[in-house]
Amino acid sequence: MKLSVVIPVMNEQESIRPLFDALCASLSSVEHEIILVDDGSTDGTVAQIEAHRPSNLKLVVLNKNYGQTTAMAAGIDEASGELIATMDGDLQNDPGDIPMMMQYLFEHDLDVVAGRRAGRKDGMVLRKIPSLIANAIIRNMTDVHIRDYGCTLKVFKKDVAKNLGLYGELHRFIPVLVQLYGARMEEVDVRHHPRKFGRSKYGIGRTFKVLSDLLFMVFFQKYSQKPMHLFGTLGFLSLFTGLGMNLYLLVLKILGQDIGNRPLLSLGIILTFIGIQLITTGFIAEFIMRTYYESQNKKPYIIRKIVGKQ
């Protein structure tokens, strides 16, 4: 199998037939399978898929709505192609871009090609502006310079896609996960169409979820193998600041001044205890990290290839 196309869908019954037509027309020259993952649809999506399913389709029906990340991970787990493409099922992504992305991947010896939506057909206030802000924040905090983190259309080599570790809502941070894996990735312009059927599953409320996930991704990216560098640095900073305040107040007390009602005393004590707790947390995180790798015989590195005598 040359290519697996993984498409999570939820309540997209009107898009199913046009989606199959577009995939058939765009990938007629590519040996491929289509993997649709129904993420807890409550309309007739599954019935439409079963009624119009092509022979190369595999349908994965989840027992409830888990979210796009989990649905995408389930589809990738079922994929058998040498390459795996991911896209949305609402026809805003164009499957006609997939052959171009495959060719770009081979020509430039890449592991991942990510789509960048050119002329994005979404609302300015609720979609484009929040997306621009979120993309800029993610780029600056993770140092992964992708312009469009929100485009689902991507083409992966199989080993990269199957080792991304997609959990929670981390599909927005796939470029960061790709970088953590050590894969080679570039971005190309792809087409973007206005939504014809149904309604978007995203709104302005997802901004806070993105920010929460971003904090986790920054920690995972920079400190997952050395958590003490984060907790220890913050802990010692807080501890020495608190001890410095308390030492200053001790000198004032020796000189005969009353320090019992000074807010600085409470702040110094709080900072001292916070510092001790952060340092202790760092030790615990180090033990957890070591247990994670050693109990499963995992290695904190990935070898791309070995040249020469084994």
Q: Is the pLDDT of residue 295 over 60?
A: yes
Q: At what angle do helices 174-181 and 206-223 cross, to 10 degrees?
A: 10
Give the Å distances, CA to CA, from 96 to 33, 91, 100, 101, 237: 15, 11, 8, 9, 54
| Dihedral of alpha carbons 120, 35, 49, 60, sign | negative
Q: How far is CA 190 from CA 32, 96, 99, 132, 284, in A?
A: 20, 9, 11, 17, 45
Tell the CATH superfamily of the 3-222 domain: Spore Coat Polysaccharide Biosynthesis Protein SpsA; Chain A (3.90.550.10)
Long-range contacts of range 283-286, CB-CB < 8 Å, 24 or more positions apart? Answer: 283/228, 285/227, 285/228, 285/231, 286/227, 286/228
* pLDDT more than 70, % of the chain: 89
Lowest-pLDDT range of 80-94, 183-197, 262-276: 183-197
Task: Report pLDDT for 203.
Answer: 54
pLDDT band at residue 301 using 50, 70 and 90 as cut-offs: low
Domain spans of the chain, in order of start: 3-222, 225-296
Return the percentage of the chain with pLDDT > 90, whole number.
50
For 64, how many CA atoms within 13 A lie in the half-sphere containing its CB?
1
Confidence of residue 300 (pLDDT cuts 50, 70, 90): low
Q: Please tell me the predicted confidence (pLDDT) of residue 296.
A: 72
State the pLDDT confidence band at 56, using cuts at 50, 70 and 90. very high
How many angstroms separate the Cα of 61 from the Cα of each of 17, 24, 64, 78, 202? 18, 22, 9, 12, 21
- Local structure of 85: helix, strand or coil: strand
Name 122's Cβ contacts closer than 8 Å, sequence gap at least 6. Answer: 128, 131, 192
Say what the pLDDT of residue 25 is: 93
- With bands split at pLDDT 50, 70 and 90, how would you rate the model's confidence at 302? low
pLDDT of residue 269: 93
> Sign of torsion, CA 143 144 145 148?
negative
**Cα gap 94→112, rounded to integer Å:** 18
Q: Given pLDDT bands bounded at 50, 70 and 90, which one contains residue 126?
A: low
Q: Using DSSP, state whether 59 is helix, strand or coil.
A: strand
Question: Is the whole model's pTM more than 0.85, yes or no?
Answer: no
Q: How far is CA 150 from CA 16, 19, 100, 128, 144, in A?
A: 22, 20, 20, 10, 14
Q: Provide CB contacts within 8 A for 131, sequence distance 6+.
A: 122, 150
Q: What does the pLDDT average to over 86-96?
A: 92
- Tell which phi-psi region holds residue 40, choosing left (phi > 0), alpha (psi between -120 and 50) or beta: left
Q: How far is Cα 150 from Cα 134, in angstroms, rounded to an integer? A: 9
The DSSP output letter for 96 is G
Q: Which of 246, 240, 275, 276 is nearest to 262 (CA)?
A: 246
Q: Quote the CA–CA distance of 259 and 250 in Å, as a whole number.
A: 8
Name the token pair of 78: 């079922």
Beta-carbon contacts of 132 under 8 Å, excluding residues fewer than 6 positions away, are: none
